[in-house]
């Protein structure tokens, strides 16, 4: 694929703008860890929400959508769209609770909701788990997909392809903290969206226009209905599996970016919002954009690419190959769009991971008080260290050739834990042992069920049965542990209710005792 000086000029302008915008907030982010990780809790809803959207738009996202559409038509998107109900639950029930909590990370909630050594152990475990294995797997996967895009478009070696992207990203992430991340997210979201819309128009035009594309869909999918049906057929997702994903997965399974009750970088943006209302509106805007607005340019390009490049062994790469359809200048715009998608995700993951290491470990367990300068310096150092570690995780995942097993492990720790994360806000009886047992049993149950060959997680029906079984086993375990262990003290429960003000009958006895 040939790039002209005009293309490179567009790419260079994007990099200069991203670095300048991000670094402009370096002094403000250096004031304290609250500025570095939660932007001083002063983000308006539209900026916080757009940052959420940009973070979930990684370089792999349009390629993944293209692969799903190529294999199953529009209905293939139910693999990720089934999580929309969980996000809406966060909008109307949990966003305001997170904002009232006033914590800096979701792991910190452990010592607000619970007390004693179990709460401290839970906080440490979640901080380490989310900052290192979860974060590094995500960073490694995003790096690998960006390498695939750059190899398909530029024909360069992976090391050469990644150096500039990583250096610029880690530079503004380490210097500017969340302020740099969210402001560059806004720029990157606009660039990425414009690029994807332009590519969709050009790709559909290359097929002959919308009418010609609709007429040709049977060539690839057998029929127009098979390509455009919104509902999956029994051939790839039996009704039992579909109903399970639609009715159970969104509340039962922990998944980065779609945690039951909110969490992760979504919760971080809620913490950083100016008010409760801003936190709710940010999550609402994210949900609408993520599930309803953003995917359509990708889907149109995926349909066109399926007709233009039917011979590809990896259909997802068809999205990147469609770059060759663009005229001079627009190729550079699309390359900048993919760089923007990549950088917005990487910068958020670096800042998010560093918030656990610096806030939940360095500050929480330091034996001597730390000044704001020391905390910010530690935050910047951990950001850089995570960046270095991500290079190692990228190399390891590349050697493995697939991240399927790694992702299954992540989902294992999350399957069946959703009810705990939902109910801890509304039921006084849940304690730290509830969460710890849910995570431990979920992992052990997954290992046993898959190790014995009871279910095949790579098959949609097997995955559905595995989810149901794991959720049932995990739920029985954590509910039993909850009822067999001591509840939190009345003082701890009262302090939580006073600060967060959760509603519902689950706190009736606590409110009665504190009256």
Question: The tokens 């959508």 sit on which residue?
Answer: 65
DSSP state of 368: S
Looking at 30-83, list the stretches that DSSP marks H as alpha helix, in order from N- to C-terminal side. Answer: 33-38, 45-56, 60-72, 78-81
Number of H helices, E strands in the chain: 29, 0
Poorest-pLDDT segment among 125-129, 387-391, 432-436: 387-391
Find the mean pLDDT for residues 147-153: 74
Domain residues of the chain, as ranges? 5-401, 402-515
The SS3 call for residue 58 is coil
- Predicted TM-score (pTM) of the model is 0.90
Dist. CA 306–CA 321, nearest whole Å: 11
Q: Which of 199-208, 384-393, 395-404 is predicted least confidently?
A: 395-404
350 has a pLDDT exceeding 80 = yes
Nearest alpha carbon to residue 231 among 65, 80, 77: 77
Which residues fall within 8 angstroms of residue 40, CB to CB, at 6 or more apart? Answer: 28, 31, 34, 272
161-196 tens-digit pLDDT: 667 667 777 777 777 888 888 988 898 889 989 999
Q: How confident is the model at residue 403 (pLDDT cuts 50, 70, 90)?
A: very low
Give dist(CA 365, CA 349) in Å, integer. 23
Residue 513: partners with Cβ closer than 8 Å, 6 or more residues away: 490, 494
Question: What is the rounded average pLDDT for all residues in the chain?
Answer: 86
Angle at which helices 210-221 and 295-308 cross, to 10°:
60
Structure confidence at residue 396 as a pLDDT band (50, 70, 90): confident
Q: Does domain 5-401 have CATH number 1.20.1730.10?
A: yes
Q: pLDDT tens-digit profile of 37-68?
A: 888 899 999 999 999 999 888 777 888 899 88
d(CA 32, CA 461): 49
């Amino acid at each position: 694929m040939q790039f002209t000086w005009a293309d490179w000029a567009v790419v260079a302008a994007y990099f200069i703008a991203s670095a300048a915008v991000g670094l402009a907030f370096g002094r403000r982010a250096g004031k304290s860890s609250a500025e570095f990780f939660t932007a001083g809790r002063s983000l308006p809803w539209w900026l916080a929400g757009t940052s959420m959207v940009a973070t979930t738009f990684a370089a792999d996202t349009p390629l993944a959508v293209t692969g799903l559409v190529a294999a199953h038509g529009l209905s293939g998107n139910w693999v990720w769209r089934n999580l929309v109900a969980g996000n809406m639950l966060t909008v109307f029930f949990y966003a305001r609770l997170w904002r009232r909590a006033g914590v800096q990370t979701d792991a910190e909630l452990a010592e607000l909701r619970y007390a004693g050594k179990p709460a401290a152990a839970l906080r440490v475990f979640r901080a380490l788990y989310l900052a290192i294995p979860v974060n590094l797997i995500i960073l490694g996967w995003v790096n690998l997909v960006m390498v695939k895009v750059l190899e398909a478009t530029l024909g360069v070696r992976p090391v050469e392809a990644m150096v500039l992207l990583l250096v610029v990203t880690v530079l503004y992430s380490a210097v500017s903290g969340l302020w740099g991340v969210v402001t560059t997210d806004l720029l990157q979201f606009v660039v990425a969206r414009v690029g994807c819309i332009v590519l969709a128009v050009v790709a559909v035009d290359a097929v002959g226009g919308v009418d010609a594309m609709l007429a040709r869909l049977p060539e690839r999918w057998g029929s127009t209905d098979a390509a455009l049906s919104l509902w999956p057929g029994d051939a790839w997702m039996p009704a039992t599996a579909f109903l399970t994903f639609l009715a159970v997965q969104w509340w039962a399974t922990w998944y980065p970016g779609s945690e039951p009750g909110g969490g992760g970088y979504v919760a971080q943006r809620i913490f950083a919002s100016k008010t409760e209302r801003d936190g709710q509106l940010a999550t609402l805007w994210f949900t609408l954009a993520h599930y309803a607005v953003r995917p359509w340019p990708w889907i149109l390009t995926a349909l066109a690419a399926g007709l233009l490049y039917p011979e590809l062994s990896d259909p997802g790469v068809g999205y990147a190959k469609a770059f060759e359809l663009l005229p001079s200048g627009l190729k550079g715009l699309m390359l900048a769009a993919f760089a923007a998608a990549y950088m917005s995700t990487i910068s958020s993951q670096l800042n998010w991971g560093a918030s656990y290491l610096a806030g939940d470990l360095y500050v929480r367990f330091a034996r001597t008080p730390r000044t704001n300068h020391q905390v910010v310096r530690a935050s910047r150092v951990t950001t850089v260290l995570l960046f270095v570690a991500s290079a190692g995780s990228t190399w390891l995942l590349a050697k493995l050739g697939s991240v399927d097993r790694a992702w299954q492990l992540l989902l294992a720790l999350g399957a069946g834990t959703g009810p705990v994360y939902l109910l801890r806000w509304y039921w006084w009886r849940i304690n730290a042992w509830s969460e710890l047992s849910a995570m431990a049993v979920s992992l052990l149950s997954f290992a046993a069920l898959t190790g014995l060959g009871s279910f095949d997680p790579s098959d949609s029906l097997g995955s559905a049965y595995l989810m149901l079984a794991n959720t049932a086993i995990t739920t029985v375990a954590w509910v039993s542990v909850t009822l067999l262990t001591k509840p939190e003290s009345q003082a701890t429960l009262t302090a939580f209710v006073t600060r967060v003000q959760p509603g519902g009958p689950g706190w009736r006895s606590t409110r009665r005792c504190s009256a």
